[in-house]
Structure 1
Amino acid sequence: MTLLQNPKYTTAHLSTEERDALQTAMIAKARAAASEFHFNGGIPGSVMNTAAKAKRFRSLVDCWTTGTWVEDTNHYTMPHFQDPLYGSCDRRYKKSGGTSIRPAVRYTWKSECDMINVDSQRWCQVLRGRHLLLVGDLVQYQLHELFLDTLRDGPTVCFGELNCKDHTVCEGPETRLRYLRNDILSVIRKMDQNHGHPKANVIEWPFTLPSIMRAYPVVILNRAPVIESDEAFIKGLVETLRTIRKGNPKALILYRSTGIGHPFCDDATEPLAAALDDSQLRKLPHGWSEIERRNAIAREIVEAAGGVYIDLAKLTNLRPDGHIGGQDCLRYCIPGPLDSWAQILYQVFLGLDGHLDDF
């Protein structure tokens, strides 16, 4: 989603020390705001039923998202069956005469902790018929594509992110997947803005209706960066998680961190060797300069509410290559860097259901 710069809510004019101090202050404010959530320290909807287990597991999740991109032309490449938009890189590459592996697909994520290769049948066994609800922005819609590519053997009918209904992703027991676009995870119960239709800039399809909360015991969230204050971000996310917990106290809540876009992505040919430093982040357009702080705030709130924060942005922030390109330097082509998201999410579901040796 394209956002305009707004000096009122960006901090590019601050020094690195001032931005660090602001982040510390906002994390403390988020911690105070999230103190209303009362859990025994475990993760609802999982086998992590003690504070110690939850802490160990969250550390393991952080380890899976820490590592480096390495060139490996022999790694498994996930086929893409769904929205043809995300296959545009392959089409362009072949049209230009490319005959080998597309450059962005040559790299695989090497985590600091070992990971198990994705097994779609085992993933379905771990899901145990628990239906999945994905809520968030247009990038979150790509998770919808990844689940379908991983768990199904062919394409599905889906009329874009605003008209996407349930998909059966596993049989026996049946597991369904649904995506709803709500850029800011608002808790509105009906679309009463813009004469009952979503606005063009921020989409807010209702997703916290009691019937939806009961039907989907696994909720995967992401909140798009919008022009607002940190205080508004904190208030909004706390309200969202409060509403979800009220509708389904035992829901398994996963939250995907928000990544930056990469200006001039058409010129990129390989991963970055290291993450951008603060002086580079401050120069990013569209509010991306504030994302690192917002992610830190989100982690504090999500974990206080018993959810699991998964820093998938940490991986893709290093990948200026592999984007759809043109006017879209935020979303990625599939296959490509997002293959690693599926691999990490697979580890997360295995661990939360007690299928890893350490738990």
Structure 2
Amino acid sequence: MVAVLRSLFTIIVSVGGLALCLIILSLALPSSPFRSSLHGYLLGVDSWRKPGYLVTNLSELQTAPQDEIFKEHLSESSKEPGDSEVVFADRTVDPNGADISLPASNNTPAVDQRSCNLYHGKWVYDPSGLLYTNNTCPIITQTQNCQGNGRPDKEYERWRWKPEECGLPYFDARKFLELMKGKTLAFVGDSVARNQMESLICILWQVEAPKNRGNRRMQKWYFRSTSTSIIRIWSSWLVHRTSDPLHFAPEGIDKVHLDVPDETFMEFLPNFDVVVLSSGHWFAKKSAYILNGSILGGQLWWPKKAGKMQINNIKAFGVSVETCLTAIANHPKFTGLAIVRSYSPDHYEGGAWNTGGSCTGKDRPATKLLKNGFTDTMYKKQVTGFQRAVKKLGGGSRLRFMDITKSFGYRHDGHPGPYRSPDPNKVTRRGPNGEPPPQDCLHWCMPGPIDTWNEFLLEIIRREYEGAGS
């Protein structure tokens, strides 16, 4: 009997020792696939998704990072109706400094649940790692390279969007490329479209360096492993624009033909499997609005002799959305997926972009939704234009709406602000009379909140191509 017990004890010790060795080996190799798979197995987490433990009890904040800085976000006494709920992702650190995230504990339903609304949720502090850094992506436009331009804080990079009804996986670059195998995705629109396109390329770059096959008419990045192409085409208004004189509108004034889609991307539309549309901000620029060949309104321009304007920039935006989407939906040779990314909020406080507006010093999400009357109105017009186009839906194309406006209303911390260039002499603080430095509160830092748009994008594409509905 004693011999049997000794043998059993020896087996237990051996197995325990082997397990301990495996754990130590996995921790010693923080970047290895072996560590990733073993860590996921031990914690019961899918190897493709970074785990995160959601702290919802204030007493647990004692182990959360920088708890004193962010504790105010959970103060019930300071919350008002409609305020954002903020929770934290916890982590522990091994002796070698590697993050060991704890498994999810909130019993979140599967992300492919058909009823899940990706856009209703809250921002969650999560220090578990970035999809890329400004040093691992070589194509970031300098004005959005906030860390490269000297921005001193980094916490704005550490907040993730958490839908109420489901989980939102970290972007899986290989999964994306597999879903888009042999396909072409095009970003069409303004500079915010470029911002999102570069975010996607940066994420994908971490698994494969693409080939640059662009030309004067479009940017194009090609991923050889799956024959996937990512394209960007500039289209400020998504409808036809001319600068030649027209009636009483002189040369040099942009004439925006609200009832004619922009031929610069419609020409290539049949070649696209997915198109992501971005527009709205150029409707704040000087222009004249044309319908049925007649000038009916303008922005920052309207001669007195023309009488009363019939259409302003907000109405013009709604018409342009309907025109563009109707043309896409009814194109006889386009059977792909068209995604409208909703109006991207800016966060200029105390003025507009050209009248002293500022987002200086914003280093964390707002706890209360920052209302902006212009943004709200533009968003409503965009939704109306989208809905009208859906009613006219024809052909085999599909229209989807990526609704980011409200959730990103909280992210006044995610813009470059005054960190728009690497110039060591740039002004980053307010002047002696409180005047703000020149800054960008419209585009988004990279990495930063904008990466969430591409996590939304992957989910939309996955639901389409895996048949999960939308």
**TM-score (normalised: structure 2):** 0.53
1:313 corresponding residue in structure 2: 405
1:261 corresponding residue in structure 2: 346
1:240-297 deviation per Cα after TM superposition (whole angstroms, max 9, x unaligned) = 1232232534121111001221012112121011323xxx423xxxx43522322332
CA contact (8 A) 2:270 2:334 kept: no
Q: Residue 125 of structure 2 is aligned with which of 62, 66, 71?
A: 71
Q: Which amino acid aligns with 1:152?
A: W
Q: Secondary structure at the match of 1:167?
A: strand
| Higher deviation after alignment, 78-87 or 102-111 | 78-87
Displacement, 1:313? 2.4
Q: Residue 235 of structure 1 is aligned with which of 319, 332, 346?
A: 319
CA distance in 1, matches of 2:144, 2:238: 28
CA distance in 1, matches of 2:118, 2:186: 23
Q: Which amino acid aligns with 1:241?
A: L
Displacement, 1:237? 2.3
1:288 corresponding residue in structure 2: 375
Using a 3 Å threshold, how does the CA distance of structure 1 residues 88 and 134 change in structure 2: closer, same or farther? closer
1:142 corresponding residue in structure 2: 195
CA distance in 2, matches of 1:194, 1:159: 29
Q: Residue 277 of structure 2 is aligned with which of 214, 221, 235?
A: 221
Displacement, 1:150? 1.9
Residue 111 in 1 paired to residue 163 in 2?
yes
CA distance in 2, matches of 1:114, 1:143: 22
Q: Residue 152 of structure 1 is aligned with which of 189, 201, 205?
A: 205
Which structure has greater strand proportion? 2
Question: What does 1:269-280 correspond to in 2, within 5 Å?
Answer: 269-276=363-370, 280=371
Q: Secondary structure at the match of 1:315?
A: helix
CA distance in 1, matches of 2:459, 2:228: 18
Using a 3 Å threshold, how does the CA distance of structure 1 residues 84 and 220 change in structure 2: closer, same or farther? closer
Question: What does 1:162-177 correspond to in 2, within 5 Å?
Answer: 164-168=218-222, 170-177=223-230
Identity of matched residues, %: 20
Q: Secondary structure at the match of 2:441?
A: strand
Using a 3 Å threshold, how does the CA distance of structure 1 residues 230 and 252 change in structure 2: closer, same or farther? same
1:91-134 deviation per Cα after TM superposition (whole angstroms, max 9, x unaligned) = 3447x5x6xxx121121212222123322111111113221121
Larger radius of gyration: 2
Q: Secondary structure at the match of 1:149?
A: helix
CA contact (8 A) 2:347 2:359 kept: yes
1:42 corresponding residue in structure 2: none
1:14-71 deviation per Cα after TM superposition (whole angstroms, max 9, x unaligned) = xxxxxxxxxxxxxxxxxxxxxxxxxxxxxxxxxxxxxxxxxx95x53xx212111121
CA contact (8 A) 1:69 1:108 kept: yes
CA distance in 2, matches of 1:355, 1:209: 27
Displacement, 1:307? 0.4
CA contact (8 A) 2:131 2:171 kept: no
2:458 corresponding residue in structure 1: 346
Using a 3 Å threshold, how does the CA distance of structure 1 residues 329 and 201 change in structure 2: closer, same or farther? farther
2:26 corresponding residue in structure 1: none
Displacement, 1:315? 2.5
Displacement, 1:325? 1.1
Using a 3 Å threshold, how does the CA distance of structure 1 residues 237 and 222 change in structure 2: closer, same or farther? same
Displacement, 1:229? 4.8
CA distance in 2, matches of 1:159, 1:265: 34
Displacement, 1:234? 3.6
Q: Secondary structure at the match of 1:328?
A: coil
CA contact (8 A) 2:156 2:448 kept: yes
Q: Residue 124 of structure 1 is aligned with which of 151, 169, 177?
A: 177
Using a 3 Å threshold, how does the CA distance of structure 1 residues 273 and 344 change in structure 2: closer, same or farther? same
CA contact (8 A) 1:128 1:175 kept: yes
**TM-score (normalised: structure 1):** 0.68
Using a 3 Å threshold, how does the CA distance of structure 1 residues 205 and 79 change in structure 2: closer, same or farther? farther
1:251 corresponding residue in structure 2: 336
Displacement, 1:355? 6.0
CA contact (8 A) 1:302 1:308 kept: no
1:138-193 deviation per Cα after TM superposition (whole angstroms, max 9, x unaligned) = 11111110221122244876999x7642211x3344121211121211146xxx53
Q: 1 or 2 for the larger relative contact order (CA 8 Å, sep ≥6)? A: 1
Displacement, 1:86? 5.0
| Higher deviation after alignment, 310-319 or 79-88 | 79-88
Gaps of 5+ in 2: 1-112, 246-251, 284-298, 300-311, 349-357, 419-438
| Higher deviation after alignment, 217-226 or 331-340 | 217-226
CA distance in 2, matches of 1:158, 1:205: 23
Q: Which amino acid aligns with 1:217?
A: D
Using a 3 Å threshold, how does the CA distance of structure 1 residues 337 and 166 change in structure 2: closer, same or farther? same
Displacement, 1:84? 4.1
Displacement, 1:298? 3.7
Q: Which amino acid aligns with 2:118?
A: W
Displacement, 1:90? 0.8
CA distance in 1, matches of 2:253, 2:174: 39
Which structure has greater helix proportion? 1
CA contact (8 A) 2:212 2:220 kept: no
CA distance in 1, matches of 2:322, 2:447: 34
